[in-house]
Chains A and B, each alone.
Chain A
Amino acid sequence: AQSVAQPEDQVNVAEGNPLTVKCTYSVSGNPYLFWYVQYPNRGLQFLLKYITGDNLVKGSYGFEAEFNKSQTSFHLKKPSALVSDSALYFCAVREHTGRRALTFGSGTRLQVQP
Chain B
Amino acid sequence: GAGVSQTPSNKVTEKGKYVELRCDPISGHTALYWYRQSLGQGPEFLIYFQGTGAADDSGLPNDRFFAVRPEGSVSTLKIQRTERGDSAVYLCASSLGGAGGGSYNEQFFGPGTRLTVL
Q: What residues make up the interface of A, taking CB atoms closer than 8 Å to B?
A: 4, 32, 34, 36, 41-46, 49, 51, 90, 92, 95-107
Q: How far is the CA of A42 from the CA of B56 in the complex (A)?
A: 26
Within the complex, which residue of B42, B56, B112 is in contact with A90, where a contact is CB–CB below 8 Å? B42
> A103 to B41, Cβ gap below 8 A?
no
Q: How far is the CA of A49 from the CA of B4 in the complex (A)?
A: 20
Number of A-B contacts (CB under 8 A): 67
What are the residues of chain B within 8 A of A51 when measuring CB–CB? 104
What are the residues of chain B within 8 A of A101 when measuring CB–CB? 33, 45, 48, 56, 59
> A104 to B44, Cβ gap below 8 A?
yes
> B56 to A99, Cβ gap below 8 A?
yes
- Which of under 10, 10 to 19, 20 to 34, or 35 or more describes the interface residues of B? 20 to 34
Q: What residues make up the interface of B, taking CB atoms closer than 8 Å to A?
A: 3-4, 31, 33, 35, 40-45, 48, 50, 55-56, 58-59, 91, 93, 100-104, 106-112
Q: How far is the CA of A49 from the CA of B110 in the complex (A)?
A: 19
Within the complex, which residue of B59, B104, B111, B112 is in contact with A49, where a contact is CB–CB below 8 Å? B104
Within the complex, which residue of A34, A41, A98, A104 is in contact with B106, where a contact is CB–CB below 8 Å? A34
Q: How far is the CA of A42 from the CA of B114 in the complex (A)?
A: 11
Within the complex, which residue of B41, B50, B91, B112 is in contact with A106, where a contact is CB–CB below 8 Å? B41
Q: How far is the CA of A49 from the CA of B40 in the complex (A)?
A: 23
> A106 to B45, Cβ gap below 8 A?
no
> A43 to B48, Cβ gap below 8 A?
no
The 3 closest A-B pairs by CB, nearest first: A104-B42, A97-B101, A101-B45
Q: Output the nearest chain A residue to B33 by Cβ-Cβ distance.
A: A101
